[in-house]
Amino acid sequence: MIKPEETMDATRLDEPIVQVDNLVVSFGKQHVLNGLSFSIARGQTLAIIGESGCGKTVLLKSLVGLIQPTAGGVQLAGADIATISSQALAELRTRTGFVFQQAALFDSMTVRENIAFPLSFNELGDENIEERSHQLLTELGLDPSISNRYPGELSGGMRKRVGMARALMMRPELLLYDEPTTGLDPIVSDVINELILRTRINHFVTSIIVTHDMKTVRKTADRVMMLLPFSQLSEGENQIIFDGPPSELDRTDDMRVQQFVRGDAGDRIAASTSNNSFIDGEWK
């Protein structure tokens, strides 16, 4: 097991690991993020929720510079990612892990090669790659005998766990999860939630989880932030419509948050179908 002091810079424990200032992201005429500002303390697990298209993944990718902001800035571990050199940004990225929605494993490589990839190509030769990948697979509940399999031969849950192992290979301080339970059955989803919790404890990482799954939010997060799609914002409204602990989600007065938490379609369906209602298993 890795000790917290191995991954954390003890002198900067009180600084937020992520500081977002007035972040704006637009793609041409399409506005996605509208002046977001927030910070994340070290060791915290933040869940970002919101309906599809509200910019959760864009926000996650902006945090590590995979998407360039249109305006505003992101400070990662105290460094402004827009102004630091490409080498410094690359070095910073080695201290973060990204678990992608579909795992983004390299199809042409085996599980072992996928997990070893960050270490082998960052040329950190002193690490025992074989031993570490074996340890991570075991820790994430995978049989090390799958090491020689290709990603195409794995189930969705296994792919996600291999993706987590790859993200953990560099001993990150910050782990970013993009919809970690999407497309998985409830049991495997819970396994992933459990692994997110254990990873936090074992590796003392700060985690940011983008998800639609309220079970993931309640089980893993100690802070939740809900974003509203840009198109639904009223004049001068903050895009972050909820920011607090998961327990507060049920107590908020904001109907939009309540609607999302309950998974209620409300009046989203077009008026053409409003004369029909699905009652007792039938359209009436």
Nearer to another protein, 120 or 258 (CB): 120
The span from the CA of 263 to the CA of 213, in Å, is 10
Single out the residue of 7, 25, 61 nearest to residue 208, CA to CA.
61
Residue ranges with strand state E in the chain: 16-27, 30-41, 45-49, 71-76, 79-80, 96-99, 174-178, 206-210, 223-227, 240-244, 278-279, 282-283
Nearer to another protein, 100 or 242 (CB): 100
Alpha-helical regions (H) of 169-212: 186-203
Nearer to another protein, 101 or 135 (CB): 101
Can you give the binding site for another protein, defined by CB under 8 A? Answer: 28-29, 61, 64, 66, 86, 89-94, 96, 98, 100-102, 104-107, 117-118, 120-123, 170
Nearer to another protein, 93 or 160 (CB): 93
The span from the CA of 281 to the CA of 284, in Å, is 9
Contacts (Cβ under 8 Å, ≥6 apart) of 270: none
Q: Token pair of 181, please?
A: 């339970």
Contacts (Cβ under 8 Å, ≥6 apart) of 43: 204, 206
Residue 107 Cβ vs another protein, minimum distance, rounded to whole Å: 8
Residue 92 Cβ vs another protein, minimum distance, rounded to whole Å: 7
Nearer to another protein, 149 or 219 (CB): 149
Residue 114 Cβ vs another protein, minimum distance, rounded to whole Å: 9
Residue 166 Cβ vs another protein, minimum distance, rounded to whole Å: 8
Residue 192 Cβ vs another protein, minimum distance, rounded to whole Å: 18
